[in-house]
Amino acid sequence: MEFKKVLYAGILATSAMTIFSYLVSEITGENFREPELITMLINDLFSTLKPLQLT
């Protein structure tokens, strides 16, 4: 039962944070959307690693 409470709380908190980020993004015109920011970070990481790879 405790696991379900923790799981539900985590899902609720993550959903609330995501909704808040999307609302702030819409209001300010800035990008605060976590999935897009994470994608940008990963793409930047891989774009800097490509020149270092020996092919």
Residue 34, token pair as written in the block:
């976590």
The position carrying tokens 């379900």 is 4
pLDDT (tens digit, 9 = 90+) per residue, 3-41?
Answer: 999 999 999 999 999 899 999 999 999 988 888 888 999
Residue 10, token pair as written in the block:
């985590």
Domain parsing of the chain, residue ranges: 2-52
The position carrying tokens 């539900």 is 8
What are the residue ranges of helices labelled H in the chain? 2-28, 34-49
Average pLDDT, rounded, for the chain: 86
Residue 52: the pLDDT is: 57
Q: Calculate helix-pair angle for 34-49, 2-28, nearest 10 degrees.
A: 80
Give 29's Cβ-side CA count (13 Å radius): 0
pTM score, whole prediction: 0.60
